[in-house]
Chain A
Amino acid sequence: MNFDPAVFFAALTSQGFRNGALLAIALTFVAQLTAVVIGLVVALLRGSGNRVLRGTGWTYVWIFRAIPTLVQILFVWNALPQLFPALKEDWFSPFIAAWLALSINEGAYMAEIIRSGLLAVDEGQQLAARALGMTPSSVFRRVVLPQVTRVIIPPTANEFITMLKITSLASAISLQELLSYTQTSISITFRFAEYYAAAAIYYLVIVSIFMAFQAWLERRFQWRSQRGESGRLATTLRGLGAR
């Protein structure tokens, strides 16, 4: 076996790879964002005082975590149109179908992450907020949600990175994203090392960018003032006798 650098670099800079990568990133973003919204709703349902709402939330998480993601994608693409003929039309593209299936699937996982985030917020927080006279929605928006957000950043970033890989499942319903383009190129040319290497580089770069974004986000939620740092340092120095 040999490795042809020319093929590798051609692949790395090819339009097909670039488009596939952009498609994968776009699908990751929209699916994950939608999943966070769905997850928040379901998490709130699960924490509701109403038994019917609680049961609905639980059932959602149960069903959509149990069924394999690929099956959900194939179901949305191949089975739903038989129930709703409108889904055969052009507007219901593989991207939209994958967006739908992946959001619903990931929403179940996000619901559990957000639920654990809600549990992590100290009870005294909403007690103090209510004591000030804040309404339930104010309490949630201004006091609880910021704290939940901080707690769920690491696991959500994890899900985000996983989602990037999961979007490759959409190749089963003809979405030409990064991985399917790689496999197609290999089938036609029989050169796999070069194409796998190029694909690996793309995924690495994308994930690295995600990770940098996560680090930035975590820094923003550190809740430390600049002065606080220097203040404590100054206090420590003073304490050590440096006058």
Chain B
Amino acid sequence: MTDDHKLLLDPALLGPTEGDAGPLLEAVAIQKRYGRNEVLRGVSFGVERGDVKAVLGPSGSGKSTMLRCLALLEPIDAGEVRLEGRTIGVRPSGSRSVRLPERELAHQRSDIGMVFQKFNLFPHLTALGNVMLGLTEVRKRSKADAAQVAGDILERVGLGARAGFYPSELSGGQQQRVAIARALVMNPKVMLFDEPTSALDPELVGEVLAVMEELAREGMTMVVVTHEIGFARKVADRVIMMDEGQIIEDATPDQFFDRPRHERTRRFLEAVH
């Protein structure tokens, strides 16, 4: 890194990294069913401010679902999601809680950034347009303002020259970096990544992981569902293993990868290594 390397995050907006009691984002006993299929059977975990939590597990284990529930994109059947200690996504109704209407959910979602496996960039907007949309539609910034901020952040992920290109004209790695910039520009308190590199050709994975590493280094709170063992080892503060809707292991990277406690974790690691 050169000295004049631009930071991805504005330190002033990051908030204190020490001294906050309790996790920044927390899942408390979350249950979720699709029809008769129980996808999440009581999932509880939290991520501290500034930490990176990696989530591993076989497909069908409920990792993506859990992420979407944390992002308030899916309703939960039981349990709570808490951001900075406050329950979000519901309001009290008598002795129970009901899910907030979409308009208010939308408001709470803007604090949580999400990056998807399939990028989900808006094909009818340029890279710049994609990054700007959240600023103009949600933060109500002026177009000129938004364009400037968006251009800036695209610069920082290394895509300044490509700002005028449409998603169909970008490589997979470039698209995912735009997606990260799009989520980042909203100044989220935490960022969730749902297998961000699984859909990429191997040679493009590196550029995306580099951006994510940089984010972690600068202190962003992240939850990353991934298959990239190397990344998890290097960047994560804790690693969780999910299987069949439950968390079966939660440890530091060293413990997780070298001395896993559970048989299923061991078998999974052998399979992916």
Contacts and interface: CB of A to CB of B under 8 A. Distances in A.
Nearest to B117: A124
Given A130-B106, A133-B106, A147 B169 contact: no
A225 B166 contact: yes
B73 interface: yes
B74 to A, nearest CB: 10
A131 B111 CA distance: 9
Contacts of A238: none
Nearest to B121: A128
Contacts of B113: 131
Interface stretch (A15-23, A99-107, A138-146, A192-200): A138-146
A142 B133 CA distance: 8
A132 B138 contact: yes
A132 B124 contact: no
Nearest to B74: A127
Contacts of B120: 122, 124-125, 127-128
A50 to B, nearest CB: 15
Given A127-B120, A133-B110, A138-B137, A225 B102 contact: no
Contact of B186 (A124, A133, A231): A133
A142 B124 CA distance: 10
Contacts of B166: 223-225, 228
A127 B73 contact: yes
A130 B73 contact: yes
Give the contact-size bracket for chain A: 20 to 34
Contacts of B182: 128, 132
Contact of A132 (B164, B168, B186): B186
A133 to B, nearest CB: 3
A162 to B, nearest CB: 27
Contacts of B241: none
A98 to B, nearest CB: 35
Interface in A192-243: 221, 223-225, 227-228, 231-232
B71 interface: yes
A223 B102 contact: no
Interface string B68-89: 1001010000000000000000
A124 B116 contact: yes
Interface in B105-148: 106-114, 116, 118, 120-124, 126, 133-134, 137-138
Nearest to A229: B169
B106 A135 contact: yes
Nearest to B186: A132
Nearest to B110: A133
B273 interface: no
Interface centre among B113, B137, B186 (most CB of A within 10 A): B137
B186 A143 contact: no
B45 interface: no
Nearest to A133: B110
B165 A231 contact: yes
A136 B133 CA distance: 14
A134 interface: yes
Given A132-B133, A138-B137, A225-B166, A146 B110 contact: no
A150 interface: yes
Contact of B102 (A135, A150, A221): A135
Interface in A15-53: none
Contact of A131 (B73, B118, B121, B164): B73
Given A122-B120, A128-B116, A136 B164 contact: no
B66 interface: no
Contacts of A228: 164-166, 168-169
Contacts of A131: 71, 73, 109, 112-114, 183
Contacts of B68: 127
A192 to B, nearest CB: 50
Contacts of B123: 147, 223
Contacts of A223: 123-124, 166, 168
Nearest to B167: A223
A231 B159 CA distance: 14
A232 B116 contact: no
Contacts of B109: 130-133
Contact of A231 (B111, B118, B169): B169
Interface of B: 68, 71, 73, 102-103, 106-114, 116, 118, 120-124, 126, 133-134, 137-138, 164-166, 168-169, 179, 182-183, 186
